[in-house]
Homo-oligomer: A and B are copies of this chain.
Amino acid sequence: MYNFKNDYSEGTHPNIINKLVETNLLQQSGYGEDAYSIAAKERLQQQLNNSEAAIYFVSGGTQANLLVISATLRIHEAVISAETGHIFAHETGAIEAIGHRVITVTTTDGKLSPKAIQTVLTDYSLRPHVVKPKLVYISNSTEIGTIYSKKELQELSACCKAHQLILFMDGARLGHALTAENNDLTLADLSKLTDVFYIGGTKNGALLEEAIVFNSPDLAPEFDYVLKQKGALLAKGRILGIQFLELFKDNLYFDLAKHANRMAGKIATAIQENGYSFLTPPVTNQLFPILPQSLIKQLSEKYVFYEWKVMDDQHSVVRLITSWATDEHMVDELIHDLNTWHR
């Protein structure tokens, strides 16, 4: 059985594991004060072209989301998210558990627009009987594989500024977004257009790690307290520093994401050539093809993947994911099987 179910079924890129071995017995300060973490933050600041950015390494996406939101919102303030947003759909009420409503917007592409924001603001205007929308949560790439264009993000950013809303981008799959074919955004753009975002490592070559970036340090000047309070400050922060040091050396982070996207692209082409369509257009490393249930059954005997939703009596959407570690031979085999079994 080969896994196309998620992008975290392998360990970590060899450069990282090798560096962990190499530095293993060197003594370092704890709690993120180690030399690797400090160097990794400097390296990121350079890539962001923002020497003021306040950067914190944490171990996962749910943690990153709840930390950022708990540190930036007041108790009566709420988050706006697409209904497909990870914080609403797959994080066990983590945001509500820290006291905030997630106001959802129904979308077809998983993305938020200024118009959607404006509608929420209108719906939530009966002060003080309703929560106050204050933070806009978006994902890039989204949970259904789509990405934001520079123009879309600029418009959203302007809308947020106009309404004094915090713009927060979940970048669990940011590498895949920024290396997608039609992408025109850079890390440095994100540092200007969002208030806070994070760069996902876990799904792009790291063992565990997301780098939270506050583009303005004023947004959460005491975030270190929050990290510790929520159990997110690792004693051996060195392992986080080492991972991002390696990922952001010689473009590795982007090369890994490109590989994942290229693998997905090959599969997408084969699917299209066999005449199948998609729930959302194939752009990054997540594919949502609509397939006959008979074919799904056959595929599932050899490949692991996620059955996303039933479309009709005979068709369902499945989710196929590739990663930095996806073996091209297995991709070719999948394509061969698709071509063969389809007939």
**A23 at interface (Cβ–Cβ under 8 A)?**
yes
A235 x B100 contact (CB < 8 A)? no
When the two chains form the complex, which single residue of B6, B17, B65, B89 contacts A24, counting CB atoms closer than 8 Å? Answer: B17
| Residues from 204 to 246 in A contacting B, C-beta threshold 8 Å | 207-208, 222, 224-236, 238-239
**A255 at interface (Cβ–Cβ under 8 A)?**
no
Residues in B whose Cβ lies below 8 Å from that of A60:
231, 233-235
**A277 at interface (Cβ–Cβ under 8 A)?**
no
B127 x A224 contact (CB < 8 A)? yes
A208 x B9 contact (CB < 8 A)? no
Contact with B along A293-336 (1 / 0, CB 8 A): 00000000000000000000000000000000100000000000
**A161 at interface (Cβ–Cβ under 8 A)?**
no
Query: Nearest Cβ distance between residue A92 and chain B, in whole angstroms?
Result: 4
The stretch that binds B, out of A25-33, A257-265, A280-288, is A25-33
When the two chains form the complex, which single residue of B11, B131, B232 contacts A20, counting CB atoms closer than 8 Å? Answer: B11
Tally chain A residues at the interface, Cβ within 8 Å: 76
Asked, given contacts A62-B231, A63-B231, A228-B91, whether A8 binds B127 with beta carbons under 8 Å apart, the answer is no
17 A-B pairs whose Cβ atoms sit less than 8 Å apart in the complex: A8-B236, A9-B30, A10-B26, A14-B24, A17-B21, A59-B208, A60-B231, A61-B235, A62-B233, A66-B230, A66-B231, A75-B229, A94-B229, A96-B101, A98-B99, A127-B224, A202-B236
5 interchain residue pairs of minimum CB distance: A63-B231, A76-B225, A11-B24, A93-B131, A128-B224
Where the two chains meet, the residues of A that have a C-beta atom closer than 8 Å to any C-beta of B are: 2-3, 6, 8-12, 14, 17, 20-21, 23-30, 59-67, 70-71, 74-76, 78, 89-94, 96-102, 126-132, 202-203, 207-208, 222, 224-236, 238-239, 325
